Amino acid sequence: MILAALAAPLLVATLALGVRQNRTRPRALLVGAVLHALAVAAMLGRRPEPVLDGALALDAAGAVVLSTSSLLFLACAVYAQGYLRRRAERDNRLFVGGLLVLLSALTAVSLAQHLGVLWVAVELTTLATAPLIYFNRNAGSLEAAWKYLLLCSLGIALALLGTFFLALAGTGPGGPRSLLLADLAGAGRALKAPWVRGGFVFLLVGYGTKMGLAPLHAWKPDAYGEAPGLLGALLAGAVGASAFLTLARVQQVMHAAGEERFAGQALTALGLISLAVAAVYVAAQRDLKRMLAWSSVEHMGILALGLGLGGTAVAAAWLHVAGSGLTKGVLFLSAGNIHRAYGSKLTDQVRGAARRLPVSGPLFLLAFLSASGSPPFAPFLSEFAILAAAVAQGRPVVAALYLASLAAIFLGMGRTVMRVVLGDPAGAPERPFPDSALTAAPPLVLMALVTGLGLWVPGGVADLLRAAAALVTG
């Protein structure tokens, strides 16, 4: 089953490359997404046997990320049918193929139990998405793609060095001499502390770059701002979640090695810095999609903070992976619709979206409320739980900084969102792209899921989140 989930998207990608017509090719996305979703559902129902000597296996943490990614990809695949029809003049061969490779790479990241395999898969997500960022082939998107490619490659190379450091930590007497997570975590304090710490620093910098934690986020506003909306949704939701998963795996080893305080402090610090940086920049943003990028920096910061605080905050972070990931989908897809309908993503040209786009406009507003942690959406639960954990651990300064940043981001983003969604669209630039079923339904469904998850977390899901948290904290 694992191999099927990995291979299905690749197989469909190969078939898609053979399709001649630009108009029919996007259907391959739908086929790949549905097959993948079915495989994931089957794996959630019955845990599959590990393959490749245990290098690939499904655990709770992987299941959270994998199901979020699969759902998000399915929504984006439906959305792509409408989007690519509107962009029929562009050759979408690379776009469709790249997205399917990305899906396979995301699956590999979620399933990887070997730090080397994990590295290979994370690098593959970068390579699959970089050419897609400049789908529009203008100077801005090329710049964004180059920055993304170079910075993430640099980060990922350092992460490989960090991985080697961790492996070296385990080659001492009694060490596991292995990069399998279970072996590393089982070795516990037999791991050599200096190499564990050095490895952690490099891994944090490497995968932190991929995740877009400040101050390693330089590529993010550009890439999210220039990429097509649906790629932004996948980058922010699925790729971000995968990068977080890698850091959670690393943190799992750190816990086992008894270094969780050192690692937790570093993660907490990066999380708070990300929140603060996002708070500063999100307020001044005049570009809709770049604003969403800063919001993504914020959410990655929240995830890092949750992981760094440890204890009950970790389960909350896993809930946040799902909640904020799906919310990101709504934000980027509806922002993409707004961008299309106005031919602009600058806030001084876009206004009254709620009137011109009766579905996407209000959805954008709701998703903003969800992203900024308002009830009754899922991120409210997770963000509140992380705050509660910080208070319960007796870390009032962390809690205060966290709360202040959230408030500042709410105000800063809210001003922009209100201006875009409300008001009178008369006089604003207009393009003939109203809401259609294919472009409006996916964000609508995702929004319903976010709301549902905020009102009621099903028992099975709650168990999964607890199990995922238990994996990290031991």
Partner 1 sequence: MTSASWLDLAFVLVVLVDFYLLASSRLPAATRAVALQGAVLSAPPLLLAGGGHDPEHMLLLSAGALLVKAVLIPWLMFRAIRETAVRREVEPFVTPVTSMVLGAAGVAAAFALSRSLPLPSGGQHPFLVPTALGTVWVGLLLMVSRKEAVSQVLGFLVLENGVFLFGLLLSDVMPVMVEAGVLLDLLAAVFVMGIVMFDIQRELASLDTQKLQRLRD
Binding site for partner 1 (CB under 8 A): 52-53, 55, 114, 116-117, 119-120, 123-124, 126-127, 130-131, 134, 137-140, 142-147, 149-150, 153-154, 157, 160-161, 164, 167-173, 175, 177-179, 192, 194-195, 221-222, 225-226, 281, 284-285, 290
Between 206 and 361, CB nearer to partner 1: 206
Alpha helices in 227-287 (DSSP H): 229-233, 240-256, 260-283
Q: With beta carbons less than 8 A apart as the criterion, state whether 179 and 166 touch.
A: yes
Between 222 and 298, CB nearer to partner 1: 222
Closest approach of Cβ 442 to partner 1, in Å?
Answer: 28
Between 164 and 262, CB nearer to partner 1: 164
Closest approach of Cβ 110 to partner 1, in Å?
Answer: 17
Closest approach of Cβ 168 to partner 1, in Å?
Answer: 6
What are 82's two structure tokens?
Answer: 């409408």
Closest approach of Cβ 154 to partner 1, in Å?
Answer: 6
Q: Identify the bridge partners of residue 116 per DSSP, sorted by sequence position.
A: none
The three-point CA angle 204-289-89 to 5° equals: 115
Closest approach of Cβ 172 to partner 1, in Å?
Answer: 4
C-alpha 404/C-alpha 410 separation (Å) is: 10
Between 279 and 381, CB nearer to partner 1: 279
Closest approach of Cβ 52 to partner 1, in Å?
Answer: 7
Between 146 and 380, CB nearer to partner 1: 146
C-alpha 104/C-alpha 264 separation (Å) is: 31
Between 25 and 220, CB nearer to partner 1: 220
Closest approach of Cβ 412 to partner 1, in Å?
Answer: 13
Cis before 362? omega within 30:
no
Closest approach of Cβ 383 to partner 1, in Å?
Answer: 25
Between 285 and 295, CB nearer to partner 1: 285
C-alpha distances (whole Å) from 137 to each of 94, 100, 140 are 13, 20, 8
C-alpha 434/C-alpha 459 separation (Å) is: 39
C-alpha distances (whole Å) from 275 to each of 265, 308, 315, 331, 396 are 15, 14, 20, 19, 16
User: Residue 438: CA atoms inside 13 Å, Cβ hemisphere, count?
Assistant: 15
Helix (H, G, I), strand (E, B) or coil at 346: strand
Judged on CB neighbours under 10 Å (0-12, 13-18, 19+), 127 is: middle
What are 100's two structure tokens?
Answer: 């399917």
Cis before 379? omega within 30:
no
Between 115 and 230, CB nearer to partner 1: 115
Between 57 and 145, CB nearer to partner 1: 145
Closest approach of Cβ 119 to partner 1, in Å?
Answer: 7
What are 179's two structure tokens?
Answer: 């990069």
Closest approach of Cβ 455 to partner 1, in Å?
Answer: 36
Between 210 and 320, CB nearer to partner 1: 210
The three-point CA angle 192-198-65 to 5° equals: 100
User: Residue 367: CA atoms inside 13 Å, Cβ hemisphere, count?
Assistant: 30
Rg (C-alpha) for the chain, rounded Å, is 21
